[in-house]
Amino acid sequence: MRRVAVVGAGMTLFRHRMLETGKEMAFEASRMALDQAGLDIKDVDSVVLGSAPDAFDGVHMKGEYLLDGAGGTRKPYTRVFVGGGTGVFVPIAAWWQVASGVADIVLVVGEEKMSPLLPHPQYAFWSIFDPILERPLGVTLLWIFSLEMRRYMHVYNVSEEDIALVAVKNKRNALDHPAAQLAANITVDDVLKSEPICWPVKRLDVSPTSDGAAAVVLASEDIARRITDDPVWITGVGWNVDSTYWTNRDLCYPEYLEKAANMAYRMAHISDPKKEIDFAEVYDPFDYKELHHMEGLQLARRGEAPKLTREGVTQRDGDLPINPSGGLLGVGNPIAAAGMMKIAEVFWQLRGEAGKRQVKKPVRRGLAQAWGDLMQVGTVVIMER
């Protein structure tokens, strides 16, 4: 297997609604990534694109629709989709093309345009529930997250205040992110007083829906060394999917994420992630998810993530910075692009290019993780300098 490096990254603003079509957003992010890598579209051997349900944009065969905006015309082109896990799965699907020797340079794009669906993008998720056994109950997407949050809180005795600390941290971190949609200086009290949507989920516990795109360029080792003095190596990848029988699982712990993480740790020769991972971008569409995922990633023992947060360990100047970008809570959540934003952030942090977001400690190894579908997908990428 060949070594694979990330050699460039780019992204658009993340906003609730953008004028750009999906193709245009994909282009804007891709062009920026290619420019950072000093490459022309002719140099790209293959393109992999990730984007979530076609229902958001209301276009059929969304992958094919986005093709020319992602530079994929008349190239080997693949669209992948694993719900919210897509943004970290799409670089994995590109990684194996380079690692196997099938391609030397791959453009990786995550794009999402959620704004066209009326009255609210959440509406498309009606179809995530079983049409016979669940939809007739009058379901709403948020039920599944609030049910998971409640279970996690119950089993590990976690309070709403503990969870709110994550929203406060991430929205504040996002003040330094140029793409950020919902950066703000808020307090735990603001979160607790925000209106309950599907209790225990309240308005400030949730990330927004967004339009946006992000892209990276992957290259094989010898090409990476020619393009840049500072390649960032992908040293571990992992992915895992659990069943859609979500009511038969204990939602307090993401077992599938543990398996995905272990797959990546094995590949990267990591035996003690808490010590060997310097910082992580962990999927946070809700504040409780950051805690849930830290534990699945074994960056904290089960039930221990709230304590690390309270103690400031996960702040930018802490021992294990989590979501220095500001995460989905602060930057925004255009589903497939959000995971890619995390990949880009790990890349920029490792190269010391994260500006005011740069974590205090010197970093050599970072992790990006995403999650999705019916609370069943775990995707993990480990990068090193």
Partner 1 sequence: MSLPDGLRNTSQAKNWVDSLPLSYKYSAGVSGQRFAEGLKQGKILGSKCSKCGETFLPPSLYCPNCFVYSSEYVEIPPYGEIYSFAEADGKAIALIRFQGVTGGLIHVVKRPSAGKLKIGLRVSAVFRPAEQRKGDLTDIEFFEIRPHT
Partner 2 sequence: MESKKTLPGTPITGTEWENDVYSFRKHSVQLRYAWDAGSAVSGFLEGLKEGRILGRRCNRCMRVLVPPRAFCERCFRSTDEWVEVKDTGKINTYSVSYVNNDASRRDKPLIVAVIEIDGASPGMGFLHVLGEVEPSKVHVDMKVKAVWKPRDERVGAITDIKYFKPLEV
**Interaction site with partner 1 (CB under 8 A):** 17-21, 23-24, 27-28, 30-31, 34, 40-41, 55, 58, 68-69, 71, 73, 115-119, 123-124, 126-127, 131-132, 135-136
HSE, side-chain direction, 13 A CA sphere, residue 56: 24
> Burial of 245 by CB count in 10 Å (0-12 exposed, 13-18 middle, 19+ buried)?
exposed
Bridge partner residues of 232 (DSSP): 6
Least CB distance to partner 1 at residue 71 (A): 5
The smaller minimum CB distance to partner 1, of residues 20 and 284, is found at 20
| Nearer Cβ to partner 1 (127/187) | 127
Task: Name the binder of 317 from partner 1, partner 2, none, CB < 5-8 A by kind.
Answer: none
Nearest approach in angstroms of CB 21 to partner 1 is 4
**Cα separation, 342 vs 12, whole angstroms:** 13
Kindly list the residues in this chain that would bind partner 2 in the complex (CB under 8 A).
9, 11-20, 25, 28-29, 31-32, 36, 58, 115, 119-120, 122-123, 125-126, 129-134, 136-143, 146-151, 154, 178-179, 195-201, 212, 243, 245, 247-251, 344, 348, 353-355
Nearest to 50 by CA among 210, 212, 178, 177: 212
Per partner kind, with CB cut-offs from 5 to 8 A, the member of partner 2, partner 1, none near residue 139 is partner 2
| Cβ–Cβ < 8 Å for 114, 207 | no
Taking a C-beta distance cutoff of 8 angstroms, is the pair 357, 210 a contact? no
Quick one: how far is CA 51 from the chain centroid? 12
Closer CB to partner 1, 121 or 208, in the complex: 121
Minimum separation from the CB atom of position 73 to partner 2 (A) = 20
Nearest-approach distance from CB 155 to partner 1, in angstroms: 34
355 and 32 in contact (C-beta within 8 Å)? Answer: no
Nearer to partner 2, 181 or 314 (CB): 181
- Among residues 23 and 365, whose Cβ is nearest to partner 1? 23
The two tokens of residue 161 are 């205040």
Report residue 59 as tokens. Answer: 């276009």
Which residue number, 14 or 265, has a Cβ lying nearer to partner 2? Answer: 14
Binding partner of residue 355 among partner 1, partner 2, none, CB cut-off 5 to 8 Å per kind: partner 2
Please give the structure tokens belonging to residue 25: 């957003």
Q: Containing H/E element for 95?
A: helix 86-99
| Interstrand relation of 77-80 and 46-50 (parallel, antiparallel or unpaired) | parallel
